[in-house]
């Protein structure tokens, strides 16, 4: 787990090369607190920050392999979960290895198979290889985009980084935002259109893609995507295959030379991952360490709603006892939660999910004291259909993203000229239709199943990336690695083609997953109604962010005032933003999160010194 950055220019000014790459690399030191390295050549500069997880002695980067007189140089962020199989295959082809590192396996795979090496990888990765034989840069990102990679092309140079901040540290790149970026923030936000970096001219390398940069420019290729095929397995075989793939993924992801744990909410997904991990560790005479999160005072203020039907606290205790894990409770202070909005913003480089981000940041900061790697249940809801909108007739039939709500109401908070500039409904419809046009169709599929297939595609490719961004940035901001067994691409490929009637078995969210886990995890957890990531219900948080927003609109120098209608924001504060409860975005973002999101936008514009162009 690391941070990577660099640039390629075939007309490179070598005089400032070292100074610039050091500055870019230094922006990623939280991603890699354990070491750093740079590599320079006539056309290429690469920088790396390292978080040690595997092979402390041999895994330093940039890593170089010689091919005659030529170099292959790699910087890598991620983990390979099939490295043993790949290593054996490469040894059989005559290669030798100096380290136990998966980085060397990736580099050697590229030397042997070229760009299509990525098709052989099972893991989470973003990496760059400078190939002196072909005189080109090769960058690639994992199948589902679990590890981030951004880039821009300026003055004939390709500049890239794990995070946007690394790119902004290059002197050719200015922190600017145009109408598209504003639409991403105010219409799509806190989600983001795949490929869009929000900042002007900054792009994201999409999941399942690689990019080759030569003297002739950039060439992008897709190496993986979902394929729609008939599902041939009966119910019993389907459950067995899901269980096998989830167990195999969970066990593979236990590889680590540093302390490892699991994030446990007492729900179906985290319990399943924790169960398979714990069973494997027991065979080695070890016990799984688990962590859960809650908020000071939540027991007093929690009230159920359609999105959050129950609290996690009792369930966590029940599951930890049943699985016999070494459990640890983390409680977050609400005042601290508000103040962590700033480091959460810096981690994302963009306004995000408000306290849903800052709480994860504080939670993992505490977990880091006892572990460096965690397994999580992230991704199960998108892959298996866990969200309320999968069973809501209005959401299914609506012609938009079901998690983006109240757009017209929110536009009233902006200045009319801003609304005219971003064309909110047109922009939203364009992004929605773009997504639908990508959906791989299944010949002969009935209209209802075809519609549900579209719903799953929207969730996997448009909603899930926001949560993967959150998990990656908040974990890496505290030098921590989060793994996601439910997003092994083999499991995602298999579940994608299971028809809705089977996914929705017994009319339950994630019904097929519940069926697959029967007899393995406690029956009470299998029957538990889905509850999302816990958020604070304590009014302390809302009162703090509301007061901050009031201070922002009372300060004439606040950059937010370039964009919002001051009178409308004052009215929002006066009415406590109750019109935006229980959720104006996803399941979790109501009135407190609207205040916090606006606060983060102002902080972002100010601290990143952003020009609106």
- Cite the active site residues: 2
Integer Cα distance of 72 and 44 in angstroms: 12
Strands (E), 473-560: 481-483
Instruction: Classify residue 212 by its DSSP letter.
Output: E
Q: Do the beta carbons of residue 147 and residue 3 sit within 8 Å? A: no
Query: Which stretches of 273-314 are assigned E, i.e. beta strand?
Result: 289-295
Tell me how far apart the alpha carbons of residues 87 and 426 are, in angstroms, rounded to a whole number.
50
CA distance 1 to 477: 12
C-beta atoms surrounding 221 within 10 Å: 13
Rounded to whole angstroms, how far apart are CA atoms 282 and 335?
39
Reduce the DSSP state of residue 307 to 3 states and report it. Answer: coil
Triad 571, 577, 581: Cα angle to 5°: 155
- Is the Cα torsion angle 308, 488, 465, 227 positive or negative in sign? negative
Structural tokens at position 366: 């505490």
Of 289, 464, 472, which Cα lies nearest the Cα of 383?
Answer: 464
How far apart (Å, rounded) are the C-alpha atoms in residues 593 and 581? 10
CA distance 431 to 436: 9
DSSP-assigned beta bridge partners for residue 39? 46
Q: Work out the angle at residue 86's Cα, subtended by the Cα atoms of residues 280 and 484, and round it to the nearest 5 degrees.
A: 45
Q: What is the CA radius of gyration of the chain?
A: 24
């Amino acid at each position: 787990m690391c941070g990577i950055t660099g640039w390629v220019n075939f007309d490179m000014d070598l005089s400032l090369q070292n100074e610039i790459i050091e500055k870019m690399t230094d922006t990623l030191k939280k991603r890699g607190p354990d070491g750093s390295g740079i590599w320079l050549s006539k056309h290429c500069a690469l920088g790396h920050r390292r978080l040690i997880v595997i092979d402390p002695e041999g895994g330093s980067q940039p890593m170089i392999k010689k091919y005659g007189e030529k170099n292959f140089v790699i910087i890598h962020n991620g983990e390979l979960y099939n490295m043993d199989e790949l290593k054996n295959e490469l040894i059989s082809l005559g290669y030798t290895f100096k380290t136990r590192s998966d980085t060397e396996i990736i580099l050697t795979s590229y030397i042997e198979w070229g760009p299509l090496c990525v098709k052989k990888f099972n893991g989470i990765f973003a990496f760059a290889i400078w190939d002196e034989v072909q005189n080109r840069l090769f960058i690639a990102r994992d199948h589902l985009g679990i590890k981030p990679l951004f880039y821009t092309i300026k003055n004939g140079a390709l500049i890239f980084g794990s995070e946007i901040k690394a790119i902004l540290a290059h002197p050719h790149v200015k922190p600017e935002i145009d109408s598209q970026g504003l639409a991403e923030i105010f219409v799509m936000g806190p989600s983001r259109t795949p490929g869009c970096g929000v900042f002007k001219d900054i792009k994201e390398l999409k999941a399942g893609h690689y990019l080759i940069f030569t003297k002739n420019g950039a060439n992008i290729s897709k190496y993986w995507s979902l394929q729609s095929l008939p599902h041939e397995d009966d119910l019993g075989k389907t459950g067995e295959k899901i269980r096998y793939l989830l167990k195999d993924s969970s066990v593979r992801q236990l590889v680590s030379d540093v302390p490892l744990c699991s994030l446990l909410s007492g729900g179906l997904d985290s319990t399943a991952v924790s169960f398979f991990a714990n069973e494997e560790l027991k065979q080695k005479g070890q016990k799984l360490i688990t962590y859960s999160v809650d908020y000071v005072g939540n027991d007093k203020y929690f009230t159920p709603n359609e999105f959050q039907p129950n609290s996690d606290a009792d369930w966590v205790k029940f599951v930890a006892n049943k699985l016999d894990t070494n459990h640890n409770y983390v409680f977050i202070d609400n005042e601290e939660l508000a103040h962590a909005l700033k480091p959460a913003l810096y981690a994302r480089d963009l306004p995000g999910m408000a306290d849903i981000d800052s709480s994860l940041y504080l939670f993992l900061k505490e977990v880091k004291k006892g572990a460096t790697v965690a397994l999580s249940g992230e991704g199960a809801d998108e892959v298996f259909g866990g969200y309320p909108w999968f069973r809501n007739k209005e959401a299914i039939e609506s012609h938009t993203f079901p998690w983006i709500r109240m757009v017209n109401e929110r536009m009233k908070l902006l200045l009319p000229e801003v609304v005219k500039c971003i064309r909110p409904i047109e922009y939203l419809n364009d992004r929605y239709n773009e997504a639908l046009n990508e959906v791989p169709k299944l010949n002969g599929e009935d209209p209802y199943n075809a519609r549900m297939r579209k719903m799953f595609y929207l969730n996997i490719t448009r909603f899930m990336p926001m949560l993967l961004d959150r998990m990656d940035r908040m974990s890496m901001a505290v030098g921590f690695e989060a793994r996601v067994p439910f997003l092994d691409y083999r499991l995602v490929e298999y579940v994608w083609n299971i028809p809705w009637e089977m996914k929705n078995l017994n009319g339950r969210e994630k019904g097929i997953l519940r069926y697959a886990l029967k007899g393995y995890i406690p029956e009470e957890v299998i029957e538990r109604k889905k509850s999302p990531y816990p958020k604070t219900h304590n009014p302390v948080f809302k009162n703090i962010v509301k007061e901050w927003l009031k201070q922002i609109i009372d300060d004439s120098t606040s950059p937010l005032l370039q964009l919002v209608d001051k009178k409308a924001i004052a009215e929002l504060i006066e009415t406590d933003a109750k019109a935006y409860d229980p959720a104006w975005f996803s399941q979790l973002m109501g009135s407190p999160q609207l205040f916090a999101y606006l606060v983060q936008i102002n902080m972002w514009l100010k601290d990143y010194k952003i020009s609106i162009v």
